[in-house]
Structure 1
Amino acid sequence: MSRIRSVHPGFFTDEDIVTVSMAARLCLIGLGIEADDKGVFEWKPVRLKMRLFPVDAVDMAALLDELVEAGLVRDYDFDGRRYGAIRNFRKHQKPKTPNDIHPAPDEILDFVALAAPISEKKRRKPDPFPQKGEKPRQMEDGGWRMESSVPSEPRGDDPPQHQPPAPIDIAKSIFDGGVAMLRRQGFREPKAREIVGKWRKLAASDGIVLSCLSRAQSENPSDLVAWMIAAIASEKGRLNDESSTPGPPADPRGRTERAAMAAFGLDPELGHDPPHSDAARQAPRSDRNRAALPHAGDER
């Protein structure tokens, strides 16, 4: 059963997490939603693909292998079944009434940073009369807290203050991911940032840019600049066609993908289909598109 999880802003700057692909980062967030409260999930790539990326052309098994190679996830066998565990999950997620669904040996409990086995018999009952200034929690506590962060100590008799997490800077995530992909194709960082800015201006929607970047991460086009321009144009055309059609358009996405987009601060109504026009499919293999791009330039 999927659970509500929190995502701390430090997740996007963690040195181990930023080394994996954008799709793998989104997958890691989704695995936290699918895992039990120990941070353990069933290792079933097909089912995970349908729950996390139902309409995206991604290789779920390859994403899991990428996370294992980065040391962010570990797979193991127990009683003839295969499971996965998320590193330091219980350092970042602290549910008030944890559940214990999947089995895990002691070494996996250490990997997820669970100090002691979960006991369903020792659940704390909420205090019907909370102390003055204390607010009962409505959702699970935690959220990808960085290991080096230390909570500030209360001063004097001040009541505990709840600090809301800082809003996610989706534009920074787009620039970081886009620049990294362009650098791998030989562009210098200033030129790469200029190109990403033109993609955002062309799309007029960060949701469209993020959707196209996610697709590009999976397809790895040889000419990323031409591919992205064609993909953005295709996505905008599709959205314009839907907006002119009477009645609400059908939404094939599942709840998990919509929740993941919401976690990124995106409008869930945008960017749910990959680019599908002939131009978008042919962009990675066409050199003629580059000649028609006055903004791409040849500077590297």
Structure 2
Amino acid sequence: MSENQNLLAEQRRAMIVDEVRRRGGVRVNELTRKLGVSDMTVRRDLDALARQGVLEKVHGGAVPVMEASTHEPGFEAKSGLELSAKEDIAREAAGLVAPGSAIALSGGTTTYALAQHLLDVPDLTVVTNSVRVADVFHSAQRGGGKAQGAATVVLTGGVRTPSDSLVGPVADQAIGSLHFDVLFLGVHGISLEAGLSTPNLAEAETNRRLVQSARRVVVVADHTKWGTVGLSSFAALEQVDTWVTDAGLPAEVRAEISERVNRLVVTGDTTVEPGAGPDSGAPADI
């Protein structure tokens, strides 16, 4: 790779994580050559990524973190990862929301980013089990300014998870009595065998209720979620109408996904995916 001195720290660290995951480990001197930065810069990046829990530093380099299927990172730990991809996904997903819709937003850092793009959509009813998502709308409405859409926000009750979602019987009962035009769903992991999964058993049940209450299900998840499997599955890929992701998803995976979901949207890619159905385009359909 040519000199990359001007890469933002976020971009550089995302490339390091991708390299570690793809190769199963990488050495510092390999990263300095690939990224065109100093040894000290790479070591600082590895320190930061190790603190976030996304890789493990070893002598001379880094390896992936071997996480248990029950490991659940907190909101803050996840919020610093794949920022550019999440922003692109959120912007794309916001274009699927029609004024006057009743939508649901699950917990997660990508749905949190999406909420910020929905502040100007008029007459929305937003149901969420995410404290963070609800705060986006409430803070904007209290401050005036950008909240021209003046959404009606319904925050379910429940027990708070490390990712600041509300789950459990109280949330499940509230969600089960409602009906959404579309659910925007953040996920811990996606795979062919396990479908959509989470390390939190109570969250899995709450997510099942969200899926059951939605007319259409849109997954918003970056490419790093592919191949991750949590303790409990809550939906099959075939239950997903649309997956909005980023260009980091490998081409062979896109082909597999397109056989299972109605529509795969890759941000920045205008190619029509092989599996896209005839009703997969217009926001009004949602």
User: TM-score scaled to structure 1, two decimals?
Assistant: 0.25
TM-score (norm 2): 0.26
> Which structure is higher in RCO with an 8 Å CA cutoff and minimum separation 6?
1
Higher Cα Rg, which structure:
1
